[in-house]
Amino acid sequence: MAASECPRVRLWRWRRNPLRRRCDLIEAWVVLCGWLFALAGAVCGGLVAADAVVRSAEQQRADSHRVTAVLVKDAEDPGPARVTTDHLVWATVRWTDPDGTVRTDEARVPPKTKAGGKAEVWTDRHGVLPKEPLSETEIMLHSVAGGVLAGSGAAGLVLGSVWVVRLGLERRRLEQWAAEWERLDTPWGWKTG
């Protein structure tokens, strides 16, 4: 037996026909506007988030500078079970700020460095040891990831709202159909279903 030969009617909600209801037209507009807003929200949200990540990383880079610090005591060997990916350990270091203030803090240094040894550490204008600033490649990766996540979240929020509105319209459509079937069934005194 051959498959159904019914042609698929595209964009039927936009065409004038006696079967189209007002809620069908409203649903078509909601879906169209939802996709447009989702696209615009994804692009704008992604660009704003990516720009914020880049500005934050550049601000951190501008506030940080490298100083040479002296180890106060020997850096320990972490052992094979506690080796980190960057192969650095925490140790107490001392350095002098450009204004002459001597500071002491914990920093990541190569293992087995002896007391009095020198290590390059990053500091900011307040004398706090931040992490090393992101490289250009890391900034690009973070901004792309942040932009994609923010854009996806914005689009998902809009499309989720469209889905909720469509559920409400579907419920209303089913109530209208039920009311019309009830009107058709009752004049003859018997039910069709």
Rounded to whole angstroms, the Cα distance separating 21 from 13 reads 8
Spans of the chain, pLDDT less than 70: 1-4, 6, 9, 11-14, 77-86, 186-193
Q: How high is the pLDDT of residue 72?
A: 85
For 61, the token pair is 């880079």
DSSP tag of 98: T
Strands (E), 1-145: 65-71, 89-96, 102-109, 118-123
Give the per-residue pLDDT at 13.
Answer: 65
Q: What is the pLDDT of residue 182?
A: 79
The model carries a pTM of 0.69
- The CATH number given to 65-132 is 2.40.50
Identify residue 1 by its one-letter amino acid code.
Answer: M
What's the distance, CA 46 to chain centroid? Answer: 8
CB 57 within 8 A of CB 145: no
Report helix angle 22-63 to 136-185, nearest 10.
160
How many Å apart are CA 54 and CA 52, to the nearest integer?
5
- Residue identified by tokens 């720009």 is 51
- Over the stretch 48-59, which tens digit does the pLDDT of each residue have? 999 999 999 999
For residue range 130-160, what is the model confidence (pLDDT) as tens digits? 778 888 999 999 999 999 999 999 999 999 9
Whole-number pLDDT of residue 4: 65
Residue 79 pLDDT: 61
Closest CA to 125 of 98, 94, 92: 98
pLDDT of residue 46: 96
